Structure 1
Amino acid sequence: MRDHTVVVGFGTKGRSAIRAACATGLRKERVVVVDPSNKAIDAATAEGYAAVLGDATRSEVLKRAEVQRAGQIIIATQRDDTAVLVALTARQLNARAKIVAAVREEENAPLLKQSGADEVITSAGAAGRLLGLSVLSPAAGRVMEDLIRQGSGLDIVERPVTRAEVGLSPRETPDLVVSVVRGHRVLGYDDPAVGRLELTDRVITVVPAEEQEERPGLPPTMGR
């Protein structure tokens, strides 16, 4: 297998990550789950995923999941220190894969990035911010919860710029564009540096979930 997605940890975070990715185009047969729990492995295989039983901090276990050939690695372990060790091991085996990891505590995010993660999501902090928003503005909280629940209501989607959109400003496109990805930079839709859209740009848009299903060009490319 090559350019597949390896998911380390099949608890609540890992399952949610896989389901969100599959809702936007990732095929189940392109996913390999790694978990030290027999129960988690049984659950993963029951849902149709390939699975490897073992400790993902050990290189021989990750090699069985063919991490060295993976395109994406999602680290969703229960402990932050485990996530750091997994990131270190995975990065040693694969220098090019995109590694996305979750941590419980925000103070551990820099260490995880130093260990090789490209993106780090702070689960406790994100949940806390959503709770605070829901208290101050229940309607805004519901919208945010809807956005992060892939496949229903509104979805956040990354897609390439179409030829018809080249030369337009983000506000002139048919979709609601919130950011533009240009090279390695993510620019806000109103950033003066964006100017006009280029053919090599990607845009992050908010679209109705049912519209995403109807338009095959919308799902982001994630190891399909």
Structure 2
Amino acid sequence: MARPGRSYDTLTRRSSMPVWLAITWRVGLVLGLIAAAIAVHWFDRAGLRDDYDGDVSFIDVIYFTMISITTTGYGDIAPVTDRARLFDAMLVTPIRIFVVLIFVGTAYNFVFKRTWDVWRMKIIQGNLHDHIIVAGFGTSGREAVEELIARGTPVEEIVVVDADEQALSEAEQMGCSVLCGDATRDKTLLDVKISRAKSMVVSAGRDDTSILIVLTARHLAHHVPISVSVRAADNELLARQAGASTVINPVSFAGLLLASSCHGANISDYLSDLASVTGRVKLNQRDVAEEELGYGLANIRSGGLGVRIYRDGKAYGFWEEEAAKLIPGDTVVEIMPGDGASKKTVEG
């Protein structure tokens, strides 16, 4: 798939060549080009003139070749025959340009770019507070980021971690901060300042990898809520034991929608609306407001429809006795009008 901004497709793979070998072959290429130019100048030294002593020695050839490739020359040794001048014009000049590009490219890749990236990363890290970390930018991770943005999360507060540079390029085009790395490693999560994160979303594509990421994240940040996607029902308990605050099984959820549609075509449509910010209705979770204390869940002041409260880690429905009187510390789950709701008609 073509990257955003490109009109062509590329098949790429990260180079396995170590840094020292990459620098060595570049230096070797430069030396090879210089050696070739020296050899031709030496065999055609009759086409050169030395204004100093009139004799063109091998040292003079090396000197002339080096200053011709690295500079424009000083004029003390100059080509005088048509063949020597043609060689300098057609071969030495391109070699000079190529050598400069190699040196500039090497300096950029291994000095300037690394220094710039380190400095830029420190600036970004310094601004990371109350951010959301998304580990894995596959289909589920991408949809999670799009939904977060649609729900009003500032895109600069989303940090995507993935080992796929193509996926990271797409996340970066969306405006997210990105880090290419393995989210199962402590260093990777420390680099994205997990201890200062507001929450974390894990969707690595494999249950074992996702659970390992949760384990790593939980031992680094005990307080951060972690939502993880797992596909096998047997792994839901393992994910919770690893420290996940919320476990989502997309396969089970799809099954629930299919089963619900058998009892009414509109039920699955309503459930889909609840799950998306673009639907006519949406679910909202918040702390109980001070002015709501002492009132029942049916009398919440936000204009939404209260359906559940969480008190001391337990859930209570709107029909239960505990929901008849809200107290400090309660968490309210309510149904609110979504972005797709009509201005005149609000669906409950």
Scaled to the shorter chain, the TM-score interval is 0.7 to 0.9
Equivalent residue for 2:271, pick from 122, 136, 144: 144
1:221 alignment counterpart = none
User: How far has the Cα of 1:211 moved from its partner?
Assistant: 9.5
TM-score, normalised on structure 1? 0.87
User: How far has the Cα of 1:66 moved from its partner?
Assistant: 1.6
CA contact (8 A) 1:155 1:206 kept: yes
- Looking at structure 1, the residues matched to 232 and 217 of structure 2 have their Cα atoms a distance apart, in angstroms, of 21
**1:207 correspondence with 2:336:** yes
Change (3 A) 1:164 1:71: closer
- Looking at structure 2, the residues matched to 198 and 170 of structure 1 have their Cα atoms a distance apart, in angstroms, of 10
Equivalent residue for 2:207, pick from 80, 94, 106: 80
CA contact (8 A) 1:105 1:123 kept: no
TM-score, normalised on structure 2? 0.57
CA contact (8 A) 2:293 2:326 kept: yes
2:307 maps to amino acid = V
Equivalent residue for 2:175, pick from 28, 42, 48: 48
Q: Percent identity?
A: 31
2:324 alignment counterpart = 195
Question: Gapped runs of 5+ residues in structure 1?
Answer: 215-224
CA contact (8 A) 1:71 1:96 kept: no
**1:131 correspondence with 2:258:** yes
- Looking at structure 2, the residues matched to 176 and 139 of structure 1 have their Cα atoms a distance apart, in angstroms, of 19
1:206 maps to amino acid = I
- Looking at structure 2, the residues matched to 97 and 207 of structure 1 have their Cα atoms a distance apart, in angstroms, of 26
User: How far has the Cα of 1:3 moved from its partner?
Assistant: 2.4
1:117 alignment counterpart = 244
**1:15 correspondence with 2:136:** no
- Looking at structure 1, the residues matched to 290 and 219 of structure 2 have their Cα atoms a distance apart, in angstroms, of 39
> Can you list the C-alpha shifts for 1:24-70, whole angstroms capped at 9, x where unaligned?
33221111000111111001000010011112112222222222322
2:193 alignment counterpart = 66
- Looking at structure 1, the residues matched to 139 and 270 of structure 2 have their Cα atoms a distance apart, in angstroms, of 22
Flag the structure with higher helix content.
2
1:167 alignment counterpart = 294
1:194 maps to amino acid = A
Question: Gapped runs of 5+ residues in structure 2?
Answer: 1-127, 344-348
- Looking at structure 2, the residues matched to 43 and 196 of structure 1 have their Cα atoms a distance apart, in angstroms, of 48
C-alpha RMSD over aligned residues: 2.0
> Can you list the C-alpha shifts for 1:183-210, whole angstroms capped at 9, x where unaligned?
4333211221233122432311111114
SS in 2 for 1:180: strand
SS in 1 for 2:333: strand
CA contact (8 A) 2:199 2:225 kept: yes
1:182 alignment counterpart = 311
Whose RCO is larger (CA < 8 A, sep 6+)?
Answer: 1
- Looking at structure 2, the residues matched to 9 and 203 of structure 1 have their Cα atoms a distance apart, in angstroms, of 30
SS in 2 for 1:167: coil
SS in 1 for 2:321: coil
Rg comparison, structure with higher value: 2
- Looking at structure 1, the residues matched to 289 and 129 of structure 2 have their Cα atoms a distance apart, in angstroms, of 28
Flag the structure with higher strand content.
1
SS in 2 for 1:194: helix
